[in-house]
Amino acid sequence: MPKYTDFFQQSIDQPELFWGEQAKLIDWNQPFEKVLDYSQPPFARWFVGGKTNICFNAVDRHLKDRSNQAALIAVSVETQTEVTYSYQELYEEVNRMAAIMQAQGVKKGDRVLIYMPMVATACFAMLAALRLGAIHSVVFGGFASHSLAARIEDAKPTLIVSTEAGLRGGKVVPYKPLLDEAINLSSHKPSSVLIVSRHLCDYEKVAGRDVDYHELRAAHMDARVDCTWLEATDPSYILYTSGTTGKPKGVQRDTGGYAVALAATMPNIFCAKPGETMFCTSDIGWVVGHGYIIYAPLIHGMATIMFEGTPLNPDAGIWWSLVEKYRVSTMFSAPTAIRVLKKQDPKFLEQYDLSSLRNLFLAGEPLDEPTADWISSAIQKPIIDNYWQTETGWPILALQHGVEVMPTKLGSPGLPVFGYNMKLIDENTGEELGRNQKGLLAIEGPLPPGCLQTLWGDDDRFVKTYWQTIPGKMLYSTFDWGIKDDDGYYFILGRTDDVINTAGHRLGTREIEESIASHSNVAEVAVVGIADNLKGQVAIAFAIPKDASKTEGLEDQIMKTVDRQLGPVARPAKVYVVPALPKTRSGKIVRRALQAILEGRDPGDVSTLEDKNILTQIQGIIQGS
Of 105-114, 305-314, 480-489, 500-509, the poorest mean pLDDT is in: 500-509
pLDDT at 604: 67
pLDDT at 374: 87
| Nearest residue to 113 (alpha-carbon basis) of 253, 239, 291, 230 | 239
Q: How far is CA 127 from CA 284, 298, 359, 615, in A?
A: 12, 11, 27, 53
pLDDT at 118: 96
Phi, then psi, of 253 in degrees rounded to 5: -105, 145
Q: Could you tell me which residue, 536 or 62, shows the higher pLDDT?
A: 62
How far is C-alpha 178 from the chain's CA centre? 22
Tally the residues of the chain.
625
Q: What is the mean pLDDT of residues 116-134?
A: 98
Radius of gyration of the chain (CA): 24
**What would the 3-class secondary structure string for 398-410 be?**
ECCCCCCCCCCCC
| pLDDT (tens digit per residue) in 172-221 | 999 999 999 999 999 999 999 999 999 999 999 999 999 999 999 999 99
Q: What is the mean pLDDT of residues 117-130?
A: 98
What is the rounded CA–CA span in Å between residue 192 and residue 209? 5
pLDDT at 15: 98
- Domains of the chain (ranges, CATH numbers): 4-425 (3.40.50.12780), 439-495 (no CATH), 499-624 (3.30.300.30)
Give residue 339's identity as a one-letter amino acid code: R
| 54, 123 contact by CB (below 8 A) | no
| 587, 618 contact by CB (below 8 A) | no
pLDDT at 132: 98
**Quick one: pLDDT band at residue 315, thresholds 50, 70, 90?**
very high
| Nearest residue to 424 (alpha-carbon basis) of 494, 490, 523 | 490
What is the rounded CA–CA span in Å between residue 128 and residue 60? 12
Category of 26 on φ-ψ map: left (φ > 0), alpha (ψ -120 to 50) or beta:
beta
pLDDT at 416: 98
What is the rounded CA–CA span in Å between residue 384 and residue 367? 10
- The DSSP-derived string for 128-162 is HHHHHT-EEEEEETT--HHHHHHHHHHH--SEEEE
What is the rounded CA–CA span in Å between residue 474 and residue 469? 8
**Quick one: pLDDT band at residue 537, thresholds 50, 70, 90?**
confident
Mean pLDDT of the chain: 92
**Quick one: pLDDT band at residue 350, thresholds 50, 70, 90?**
confident
Q: What is the mean pLDDT of residues 125-140?
A: 97
Whether residue 608 is predicted with pLDDT greater than 70 in this model: the reply is no
What is the rounded CA–CA span in Å between residue 591 and residue 604? 12
pLDDT at 581: 87
Of 44-58, 501-515, 540-554, the poorest mean pLDDT is in: 501-515
What is the rounded CA–CA span in Å between residue 465 and residue 477? 8
Q: What is the mean pLDDT of residues 567-574?
A: 89
**Quick one: pLDDT band at residue 519, thresholds 50, 70, 90?**
very high
Whether residue 155 is predicted with pLDDT greater than 70 in this model: the reply is yes
Of 71-85, 106-120, 361-375, 549-563, the poorest mean pLDDT is in: 361-375
Of 264-273, 279-288, 371-380, the poorest mean pLDDT is in: 371-380
Task: Read off the DSSP letter of residue 223.
Answer: -
Whether residue 49 is predicted with pLDDT greater than 80 in this model: the reply is yes
Whether residue 586 is predicted with pLDDT greater than 70 in this model: the reply is no
Q: What is the mean pLDDT of residues 283-291?
A: 94
What is the number of alpha carbons within 13 Å of residue 24 lying toward its C-beta? 5
